[in-house]
Structure 1
Amino acid sequence: MVQLGEVLKAIGPNASIVFAAWIFMGFLQQRNDAAIDRYRQAVGDFRSNKHDATRSDNLRSQVLAYRRRCRLMSRATFVGLVAAILLISSLIFVALDVLVPNNAAIAVCGIATAIGGFVLVIIAAFIVIAEGQIVQRQIDDELRDVTDLAKGAGGGV
C-alpha cells in the first residue's frame, strides 16, 4: 500500500513551481488592474473635461492605448491562469504516478501538462513585454501636447 509520505515526497519539491505560478498570476493581475484603473480614469477625464484640440487628440490616443493594454493584460492573465492550472495538474499526475506506477497514460499526461504550463508562462511573459512597449509609447506620448516639457525631455515629441 502506498503511504501518504511517498506521495508528498513526490509532489513536495515540485510544489514550488505552483507557488511561483501563483506569484506570477498575482503580478499579472496587478498589471491588469492597474491598466483598467488608468483606462477608466483616462476615459473619465476625456468625457468630463473640456480640452483644447491638441490635448483632446492626445487624450484620445492615450485612451485607445490603455484599451489595448487592458486587452493584452486580460489575455496575459487568462493565459497565466491556464498555465497555473496545467502546472497544478502536473502535480496531480505526479501523485497519481506514485499511486499507479509505470502507467504510460499518467506519465504522458503529467509531462504534457508540465510542458504546457511552462510554455504558457512564457507566452504570458511575452504578452507582458508587448504591453510594456505600449507603456513606453504612452510615456513618450504624454508630453506630446506640452512642447516645453517635450523639448526638455529630449524627445522633441
Structure 2
Amino acid sequence: MVQLGDVLKLIGPNAAIIFAAWIFMGFLQQRYDAAVDRYREVVGDYRSSQHEPDRASNLKKQILTYRHRCRLMAWSTLIGLVAAILLIASLMLGALEVIVPNVPAIAVSGVVAALSGFALVIVSALIVIAEGRIVSRQIDDELRDVPDLASDTGQKSGS
C-alpha cells in the first residue's frame, strides 16, 4: 500500500520548481502588463494631441514598437504558462509513478514533461531577451524629437 507520506517525500523537494515557475510567470505577466499599459498610453497621446511632425513620426514608430513588444510578451507569457503546466504535470507523473510503479509510460511521460517544461522556460526567457533589446532601442528613439537631448546623448535628432 502506498502511503501519502511516500508521495509527499518524492515530490516535496521538487515543489521548488513549481514555485520558481510561478515566480517566473509573475515576472512575465508584469512585463506584459507594463508594455500594454504604455502602448495604450502612447496611442491615447497620439489620438488626443496635435504634435509637431517629428514628434508625430516618433509616436507612430513607438506605437508600432509597443505593439510588437506586447505581442512578444503575450507569446512569452503563453509559453511560460505551458512550461509551468508541464512542470506541474511532471511532478504529478512522479507521484503517479510511486503509486503505480513499473509502468514505463508514466516514467517516460514524466521525463518528457519535465524536459519540455524546462525547454519552454528557456524559449520564454529568450523572447524576454529579444523584448529587452527592443526596450533599449526605444529608450534611444524617445529622444529623437528633442534635438537638445538627442545631440547630448549622441543620437541624431528627427523622426
Q: Is the structural similarity TM-score above 0.5?
A: yes
1:111 equivalent in alignment to 2:111: yes
Match of 2:63 in 1: 63
Task: Note the aligned Cα RMSD (angstroms).
Answer: 0.7
- Measured against aligned partners, the alpha-carbon deviations of 1:71-120 in whole angstroms (never above 9, x if no partner) come to 00000000000000000000000100110112100000000000000000
The count of corresponding residues between Structure 1 and Structure 2 is 157
Match of 2:52 in 1: 52
How far 1:37 sits from its partner (Å)? 0.1
1:16 equivalent in alignment to 2:16: yes
Cα distance in 2 between the residues matched to 1:120 and 1:148: 44
- Measured against aligned partners, the alpha-carbon deviations of 1:31-88 in whole angstroms (never above 9, x if no partner) come to 0000000000000000000001110000000000000000000000000000000000
Cα distance in 2 between the residues matched to 1:92 and 1:46: 50
Q: Structure 1 residue runs of 4+, over 2 Å off? A: 154-157
1:149 equivalent in alignment to 2:146: no
Identity among equivalent pairs (%): 66
Contact kept, 8 Å, 2:84 with 2:117, in 1: the verdict is yes
Structure-to-structure mapping, 1:31-110, within 5 angstroms: 31-110=31-110
How far 1:154 sits from its partner (Å)? 2.5
What stretches of structure 1 of length at least 5 have no aligned partner?
none
How far 1:139 sits from its partner (Å)? 0.3
**TM-score (normalised: structure 2):** 0.97
How far 1:156 sits from its partner (Å)? 3.7
Cα distance in 2 between the residues matched to 1:79 and 1:22: 13
How far 1:147 sits from its partner (Å)? 1.0
What stretches of structure 2 of length at least 5 have no aligned partner?
none
Match of 1:122 in 2: 122
Cα distance in 2 between the residues matched to 1:121 and 1:129: 12
How far 1:9 sits from its partner (Å)? 0.5
